[in-house]
Amino acid sequence: MPFIKIDVLREDLNREKKQQLIRKINEAVTEVLNKDPHLTHIVINEIEDDNWGYAGEQVSALKEQGFSTAKK
């Protein structure tokens, strides 16, 4: 029984995007690991910018300096 935990920054991850993420990950686990999709558990943890560090800085501080997590 796969258990998949996803940690993401709390951003523009609305209900529809979460559902899409869950569905696509479940499809990948079913295809790659040959697991029953009804036995796969996926948890999404949304983490505040102040609670995430990158390159020795809080993401909230980096965003104030122009850092973006958007795809380029």
Where along the chain do its domains lie? Answer: 3-65
Does the structure show a pLDDT above 90 at 71? no
CA distance 33 to 19: 21
- Cβ–Cβ under 8 Å, residues 4 and 41: yes
Task: Classify domain 3-65 at the CATH superfamily level.
Answer: Macrophage Migration Inhibitory Factor (3.30.429.10)
pTM here? Answer: 0.81
Do residues 47 and 57 lie in contact, with contact meaning Cβ atoms separated by under 8 Å? no
Of 1, 2, 46, 47, the active-site residue reads: 2
| 2 carries an active-site annotation | yes
Per-residue model confidence (pLDDT) at position 54: 87
Per-residue pLDDT of 1-54, as tens digits, reads: 899 999 999 887 899 999 999 999 999 999 999 999 999 999 999 999 999 998
User: Residue 4 is inside which H or E element, if any?
Assistant: strand 3-9
